[in-house]
Structure 1
Amino acid sequence: MTADATAEITGHVQWQAWQDGVLPPVERVRDGLWSLPVPLPDNPLRYVLVYALELRDGLALIDAGWDADVSWQALNDGLASIGHDVRDVRAVLVTHHHADHLGLAGRVREASGAYVALHELDARTVGPELDTYDKWRHGYVGHLVRHGMPDTDADATADAIDPDRLLRAPRPDVLLRDGERIALPGLDLRVVWTPGHSPGHSCFYAPDRQLLFSGDHVLPRITPSIGYLLQSVGDPLADFLRSLDKLTGYAVEEVLPAHEYRFRRLDRRLAHIARHHTERLAETLAAVTAHPGATAWQLAAGLKWSRAWQEFGLPQRRFALAETLAHLKLLAHRGEITEHAGAPGQPVAWTPAAPAAPAAPA
């Protein structure tokens, strides 16, 4: 979903690079603060913006990038261009556990002795032993089929996920909690827990500079993917909407996201993203009303996306299924629709909630 004028672009060089389809350059954002683009191979997001903050005795990184040789080389080249080396890194502060943010943290730690910090909720989802892969695959395929994906598509979707990258993500050394101050010399940075995109997603706020490192929680042009996944519990979309509200009113001069480009006018962007989900919830409710008894997969195929459903490959369709499920779960928690588990072996179906019985006469 494209943004309108709600996001005022400040990273003009990054924006131009995005328009041109190229990697942006390393940039000095403020004194002692650098933006280092790290490529994402074969990914439409193209790169992760890793931020390097100068300390009194080295560097702290916010996010690390995808674990690939080309990404590792770009990170090292970026550090060299600002007069540093990976061995100068003292800490890697990771906004969330997804592979494009956490992936290279292990290599950085091995090269420098830096600690890796991640919110405690996301730490629970990384690093199981490889011999659990079969168990994971069985559960993942079952989750997809249970929500309507055809068996052959579910098998192909699971086969396309790299088990080594999935199951051997680096474990964090430090567990972060909401509101705590990062204890690094010369750095004033606070953890702002913003669940939704992941259970432990966290932004980092620098109150002295009024900067917000927003990870994937708030981006200038697209809305982050909020999905209900195999490991999900509770209501991820409700968590995300509360997290948007939580940031409203923060004194933020500039937002430094992990993708795309820097921007201002945070409050307007927050409201724009919230409005998108309000509209999407209404569209999803209308689809359930028009097709009672449909599965999430069937409903996803009929919703509006950035491209036609027929143009989506399986990776895009699994994300679309997860996002549709997140909206269905929130509507169910609000009592507007009903989830039906059905008989064993039958997929979950969705119907409008039954109207409330009329009150008995007094």
Structure 2
Amino acid sequence: MGKYTITKDLRDVQRIEKLVLPTNFPIGPIHAYLVFGEKLTLIDTGLKTDQAWKELNIGLERLGLKLTEIEQIVLTHHHNDHVGLLDWILEKHPTVPVFAHRDTLTFLQDEDYLDWTGEFFKTLLQEFGLPKEMAYKWAFRKRGRTLSNNLEIETVLQEGDKVPGLSDWQVIETLGHSQDHLSLYNAKDQMLICGDHIIKGMHSGIFLDAPLYGKPRARPLIQYFQNLEKCKNLPIKLTYSGHGPDIDHLAEVIKATEENIENRLQRVINALKKANGSATGFEIIQDVYRRRYEKAVITFVFEIVAVLDLLEERNIIIAEKTNGVYHYRLVDY
């Protein structure tokens, strides 16, 4: 069975199979998981590409399974490398129920929300200090529905829920990477399926989602720290991540992740010191990322916005708005 062999061969432990599906992203392949509970459950689906679709079907075949034998699907979050193949799965297997966070469907398909998203990011980017043309370009880039199907969520999952058909698994809301991110915890076997919440040896990334209809913008890095603490305190022997290797010492990986974040905070503090204690977000990005920022402005905006949120919450900086643009000032400078 090659890479599709049982990932943890322990007697009386829930059987989980990993499907390694290619992406065109620097982070590498995405991991979808088959959990053999009361119902055969697919956790996430992979990016919508011909190669990922081929690998998904090859992986099922190697396990002696057909696509139509999957009895339910659970989505950890709405990012396209985790949900994209759902379109093609539903074409072949239209009756399979899909479970997800209460907001996942909005992020994927709500046309009014998607239109509002562009306007929200245009304002945010301009307030962050980006020139108007650049702000418009990145706010409205290739934005649209991730799925072409009119998806229906069979069951909305939230904190503390048991997953139907997987009675040993409980839902943990792990917001931060996205605003609909779920992880699944098996207390009996002390296992965690964490999507992109924790990735060993990699920066899991903090992404901004436009707020839902009149709600304030989330502070994702603050959420992320809180939810790392939530996972740190659980008895967990093995963690299955959406990318990278399995994690068998979760507390150590969480500590390394937190240290990485603290280093990013210090880089922003250093950039502000070089700017005599005050700068716009765009000026910070230009200093911290220099030659790299122009190719992926939105990614770096998301990261630095999140870092600035945390610095502000810790009373290290103050945000002051002048002529429609925020300037971030070190409190003790």
1:197 aligns with 2:173: no
1:63 aligns with 44
Cα deviation for residue 166 of structure 1 reads: 7.6
SS state at 1:50 partner:
strand
1:301 aligns with 286
2:204 aligns with 224
Cα deviation for residue 325 of structure 1 reads: 0.6
- Structure 2: how far apart are the matches of 1:166 and 1:147? 30
Cα deviation for residue 221 of structure 1 reads: 1.0
- Structure 2: how far apart are the matches of 1:139 and 1:158? 8
Cα deviation for residue 327 of structure 1 reads: 0.8
Question: Sequence identity of aligned pairs in percent?
Answer: 22
- Structure 1: how far apart are the matches of 2:148 and 2:226? 30
SS state at 1:276 partner:
helix
Offset from partner CA, 1:57-111 (integer Å, 9 cap, x none)? x520111111223222221221111111111111111111111112222432343
2:132 to 151, 159, 163: 151
- Is the 2:98–2:153 contact (alpha carbons within 8 Å) kept by the matching residues of 1? yes
2:18 to 29, 35, 40: 35
SS state at 1:264 partner:
coil
**Normalised TM-score (structure 2):** 0.86
- Is the 1:127–1:171 contact (alpha carbons within 8 Å) kept by the matching residues of 2? no
1:319 aligns with 2:299: yes
Label 1:117 to 1:54 Cα distance change in 2 as closer, same or farther (>3 A). Answer: same
Alignment of 1:253-292 (within 5 A): 253-291=237-275, 292=277
The number of aligned residues is: 322
Offset from partner CA, 1:94-150 (integer Å, 9 cap, x none)? 111111112222432343222111122444433112x76555433333322221223
- Is the 2:107–2:114 contact (alpha carbons within 8 Å) kept by the matching residues of 1? no
- Structure 1: how far apart are the matches of 2:90 and 2:168? 22
SS state at 1:126 partner:
helix
What is the identity, as a one-letter code, of the residue corresponding to 2:274? A
Q: Moved runs in structure 1, 4+ residues, more than 6 A?
A: 166-169
1:252 aligns with 236
2:62 to 81, 91, 110: 81
- Is the 1:128–1:167 contact (alpha carbons within 8 Å) kept by the matching residues of 2? no
Label 1:132 to 1:184 Cα distance change in 2 as closer, same or farther (>3 A). Answer: closer
SS state at 1:321 partner:
helix
What is the identity, as a one-letter code, of the residue corresponding to 2:286? A
What is the identity, as a one-letter code, of the residue corresponding to 1:351? R
Q: Mind listing any 5+ residue stretches in structure 2 that lack a counterpart? A: 10-14
2:168 to 166, 188, 195: 188
1:165 to 146, 151, 154: 146
Cα deviation for residue 151 of structure 1 reads: 3.1
- Is the 1:122–1:198 contact (alpha carbons within 8 Å) kept by the matching residues of 2? no
- Is the 1:37–1:50 contact (alpha carbons within 8 Å) kept by the matching residues of 2? yes
Cα deviation for residue 283 of structure 1 reads: 2.8
1:120 to 87, 93, 102: 102
Label 1:79 to 1:167 Cα distance change in 2 as closer, same or farther (>3 A). Answer: closer
2:12 aligns with none
Label 1:201 to 1:270 Cα distance change in 2 as closer, same or farther (>3 A). Answer: same
Label 1:197 to 1:115 Cα distance change in 2 as closer, same or farther (>3 A). Answer: same
Label 1:25 to 1:104 Cα distance change in 2 as closer, same or farther (>3 A). Answer: same
1:48 to 30, 37, 54: 30
- Is the 2:30–2:242 contact (alpha carbons within 8 Å) kept by the matching residues of 1? yes
- Structure 2: how far apart are the matches of 1:181 and 1:256? 18
SS state at 1:219 partner:
coil
Q: Which has the higher contact order (CA 8 A, sep 6+)?
A: 1
Label 1:168 to 1:329 Cα distance change in 2 as closer, same or farther (>3 A). Answer: farther
SS state at 1:43 partner:
coil
Label 1:167 to 1:145 Cα distance change in 2 as closer, same or farther (>3 A). Answer: farther
1:177 aligns with 2:158: yes
- Is the 1:96–1:200 contact (alpha carbons within 8 Å) kept by the matching residues of 2? yes
Alignment of 1:84-123 (within 5 A): 84-112=65-93, 113-123=95-105
2:321 aligns with 341
- Is the 1:97–1:122 contact (alpha carbons within 8 Å) kept by the matching residues of 2? yes
Cα deviation for residue 252 of structure 1 reads: 1.6
Cα deviation for residue 334 of structure 1 reads: 2.6
- Decide which moves more: 153-162 or 92-101: 153-162
Label 1:228 to 1:163 Cα distance change in 2 as closer, same or farther (>3 A). Answer: closer
